Structure 1
Amino acid sequence: MSQFQQMQQGMTQVREDLKHKEVEASVGGGMVKVKMNGAHEVIAITIEKEVVNPDDVSMLQDLIKSAVNEASRKSQELLKEELSKITGGLPIPGFNV
């Protein structure tokens, strides 16, 4: 098996393994939390009842958006870390993470 094929196989395995690793982001002093796996799938969203105000829905929307974006950033970093173990930190053309 060529070195490229081994690396490709390793990247496939990393992506599969990342489905089982989780990151969490918390915003608003822990009022909104988002758990996401390394495949960028949202696993859970937790919203404390104190932040739910029917007169200020936009604040809740902003908190959720911020938490999802932060969890996505953490998930992306996790992917980069895992792939760099295989690639030795070298960028792979056409493979953006």
Structure 2
Amino acid sequence: MMRGMNMQGMLKQMQKLQKNMKADQDKLNETVFEGHSANDIVVVKFTGDRKMTDISIKEEAVDPDDVDMLQDLVIMAVNDAMDKINEETQRTMGKYSQNIPGF
């Protein structure tokens, strides 16, 4: 009898953990992250599920003779945003896997 109650308690804990994990993931997905290039010439916005929602490019970055610089600035801003998303994802969701063997 004690064994069944333990299993039932564990099942309830797992369901609660799953519910909390989904709520945290949903909140993370709705969070907007900004990535910036040098001097904020390019600014991008992404949601936590890594979907770009906006890009802002200052006029001084648009030089037809130096497209490579603009490309580098966009890459810099996107990578900055991805780093922020990864850090927040680890901070928010890492707590669910820290005590699970193999993670």
Please give the range of the TM-score, normalised by the shorter of the 2 chains: 0.7 to 0.9
Give distance in 1, aligned partners of 2:23 and 2:91: 14
Deviates more, 1:9-18 or 1:52-61: 9-18
TM-score, normalisation: structure 2: 0.76
- Structure 1 residue 42: deviation in Å? 1.1
Q: Give me the identity figure in percent.
A: 35
Alpha-carbon contact 2:34-2:43 (below 8 Å) kept: yes
- Out of 24, 34, 39, the residue aligned to residue 34 of structure 2 is 24
Amino acid at match of 1:90: Q
Q: Tell me the residue number matched to 1:36.
A: 46
**Count of residues paired in the alignment:** 93
User: Any stretches of 5+ residues in structure 2 without a counterpart?
Assistant: 1-10
Deviation at 1:68, TM superposition (A): 0.5
* Equivalent residue, structure 2, for 1:51: 61
Q: CA deviation at 1:5?
A: 3.0
Which has the larger Rg? 2
Aligned to 1:13: 23
Q: TM-score, normalised by structure 1?
A: 0.80
In terms of fraction of residues, the more helix-rich structure is 2
Give 1:4 shift.
2.9
